[in-house]
Amino acid sequence: MSHTTVYNGIRDILEGLKLAEAKQVYDYENASENEFGRTFILKALSGNIDDDMSREMINKFHDSQIWLIQVGFNREEMADAGNRILMHAKKEAILAKIDNPDNWESFARMLIYTEWEVVEFENYVVLQIELQILDTITHT
């Protein structure tokens, strides 16, 4: 597979949950109000060779990757308990889709959620979901 294949696969899962790709690719610092709660930022953070056997294969290796899904929310709106509940409902919907191999086995050998957290900034709050993905890179 490739970065593009994995990216498109995760993007399709998120778009299936009625989230759109954010205009910003790094953070929600300059996001418009109507992007909050409706968009995502998707990042490939790191990767490493998965196992010793990968080093011995002639035409492929397993790349263990860390990806990050971010969904931004307006900080003022998150002061309301009901909106916090909606944010966590969105998190649970994402995790449910990721937990189903039918949603990702076409583009990854393995995809698991490793952790989530809510990070607060001055004007916005970000729900972050970290994924571990095992990708098979084939080459000649």
pLDDT of residue 140: 47
Q: Is 126 helix (H, G, I), strand (E, B) or coil?
A: strand
Domain boundaries, the chain: 3-138
pTM of the full structure: 0.85
pLDDT in tens, 13-69: 999 999 999 998 899 998 888 999 999 999 988 766 655 554 555 555 566 888 999
pLDDT of residue 45: 86
pLDDT cut 90: percent of the chain above it:
55
Does the domain at 3-138 match CATH 3.30.2000.30? Answer given as: yes
pLDDT of residue 61: 56
Indicate if the pLDDT at residue 137 is higher than 90: no
First and final C-alpha spacing in the chain: 13
Cβ contacts of residue 87 below 8 Å, gap of 6+? 37, 71, 73, 78, 118, 125, 127
Cβ contacts of residue 5 below 8 Å, gap of 6+? 107
pLDDT of residue 2: 77
Cβ contacts of residue 129 below 8 Å, gap of 6+? 68, 69, 70, 91, 94, 95, 98, 113, 115, 116
Q: What CA–CA distance (Å, rounded) separates 138 from 140?
A: 7
Tokens of 86: 């909606």
